[in-house]
Amino acid sequence: MVMHLLPDNQDVANCCLVNTAWSKVANPVLWRRPKFNSFSAAKAFLEFAKKYQEPPPDSKLRLVRILDLRRSYSLEKLLDRFPNIQCLYLPRRPLNFSYETLHFPQLKKIRNVRLDFEDCGYSQLSHIFRQCPLLEELSVDIKEKPNQGLTLPLPIASRLTSLSITWDGFEYWERIEERAPLIIDFIRAILKALVLPMKHFSLKLEHPVYSDPNQPEKGHFLQLVDGPWSELRSLELDGVELDALTLPHLTQVLPTDLTSLKLAQFYPPKQPVSLAPWEQLIAKCGKSLTSLYLINDQLPEHIERAIGDSCPQLRNLILMGSNLNDHCVSYIIEKAAKSLEYMEIEAVLTSRTLETIFHYCQLKVLNLESFDPDTRPTYTMPPKEFFSQLENLSLYGFRVQTPLLEGILQYGKRITKLVIKDHETLEVSKLKTVVEGLPRLKEFEFCQPLLHLDGRTEIMDLMEQFSNQT
């Protein structure tokens, strides 16, 4: 009955948060992380918060622990109204407040801090370290490159153990010899401010560049990997060149109990990757790895043996490479199927890989994309056991046939997301029956380039109908 009285179809939590008459009703759990599904709800919450320059001791605003500003609701104007927040998610855009005013003595996590080195980027970071003494996790989004040699000392970050950097401040034309020292100097300046060993480190370069393949390898990122990694639990490097000098050194410094390793765009496109140093890396860390992501134009030949033989606890696996095939993927599946829960593969695959997965795996998420346009049809109906945990199924480039659809309809009652991008003419009526027969389905996507006009229209109508329902 209450739901019919709410303005703008807002849920009970939002209504309690923004309606002063109802604010006494709201459970503290609702205030812990306020969520807004519309601008009007956020605006009403702003009006509520504006009443208190300094929240009184009994104010509900003091109950807010997690503040998510990633939607453009301009709530950052009132950050000082939430003195007890512990986690802050910032939007990926310029903010309407000064970092000098940021003071959260209880803040432990802050994400998407946008640094502009043309406008005192180091100063912004200094204010965060100084005003947030309990900070444990920091995510930085950089849009500009730092000035040459600018490595000012930062205040001590006594609790910081998790650092994530996304760097979009370089152009494709810049040489790696010019770029690498700037990146390394900036990161080392942060590492010098740490007191505790780093537990989680991530560096993503949006526009990777590589050394000249005709010149001897020089290990431009050698100083980067020579960090305080003795107690590291997860490492992500995306767009960081790992050549024959850098990778062996990384293997030496990483701990044997690393649980998550994500390496992407680590070698120039169309260049073969030597297997030996990768075997050594995976052999050292593989026993404890639960997540392994390897993404590159080409992966080392026969990398599947190192993964399958050295990683007995893998739960999450992402592999993307133009030289991966059925044999590579099937070998890993046969070795690691019992522990795998999440699998995402982009490779030259046929239905053989699908059939192997059906036979061995009980995944929660399966995302497969085949680069092979001649993939033979998938006639196998998956067994009931394959669907026992499956929530997300995405197939790109496989010629899906009726038996697979029947298996999805009969056993896939837990599926919440279904994506099929096919190269064959699929029976639209059967697909419609499947979509309408999955009770938990929240997201559906279908693409078929060769679909005749009538079928395409029917599918579009189905997707629109489904979108309106969800």
Q: Give the pLDDT of residue 363.
A: 98
Q: Give the pLDDT of residue 8.
A: 42
Please identify which residue in the block is written with the tokens 């537990």: 199
CATH of the structural domain 315-469, one choice from 3.30.230.10, 3.30.930.10, 3.80.10.10, 3.30.10.20:
3.80.10.10
**454 CB-near residues (< 8 Å, 6+ apart):** none
pTM: 0.88
Q: Give the pLDDT of residue 424.
A: 62
The pair of three-digit structure tokens given for residue 376, joined into one six-digit string:
């033979």
Q: Give the pLDDT of residue 29.
A: 73
Buried b (16+ CB within 10 A) or exposed e, 319-339: bbbebbbbebbbbbbebbbee
Q: Give the pLDDT of residue 75.
A: 62
d(CA 386, CA 368): 15
Q: Give the pLDDT of residue 4.
A: 38
Geometric angle at alpha carbon 316, from 422 and 345, rounded to 5°: 30
Buried b (16+ CB within 10 A) or exposed e, 22-32: ebeebeeebbe
Q: Give the pLDDT of residue 432.
A: 84
How many angstroms from the chain centroid is the CA of residue 159? 24
**340 CB-near residues (< 8 Å, 6+ apart):** 314, 315, 316, 317, 333, 361, 363
Backbone angles phi, psi at 459, to 5 degrees: -65, -40
SS3 for the chain, per residue?
Answer: CHHHHCHHHCCHHHHHHHCCCCCCCCCHHHHHCCCCCCHHHHHHHHHHHHCCCCCCCCCHHHHCCEEECCCCCCHHHHHHHCCCCCEEECCCCCCCCCHHHCCCCCCCEEEEEEECHHHCHHHHHHHHHHHCCCCCEEEEEECCCCCCCCCCCCCCECCCCEEEEEECCCCCCCCHHHHHHHHHHHHHHHHHCECCCCCEEEEEECCCCCCCCCCCCCCCCHHHHCCCCCCCCEEEEECCCCCCCHHHHHHHHCCCCCCEEEEECCCCCCCCCCCHHHHHHHHHHCCCCCEEEEECCCCCCCHHHHHHHHCCCCCEEEEEEEEEEHHHHHHHHHHHCCCCCEEEEEEECCHHHHHHHHHHCCCCEEEEEECCCCCCCECCCCCHHHHCCCCEEEEECCCECHHHHHHHHHHCCCCCEEEEECCCCCCHHHHHHHHHCCCCCCEEEEECCCCCHHHHHHHHHHHHHHHHHC
Question: Which positions of the chain have pLDDT values less than 50?
Answer: 1-12, 149, 470
d(CA 71, CA 80): 19
Q: Give the pLDDT of residue 36.
A: 67
Q: Give the pLDDT of residue 267.
A: 93
Nearest in space to 312 (alpha carbons), one of 297, 290, 343: 290
Backbone angles phi, psi at 378, to 5 degrees: -100, 100
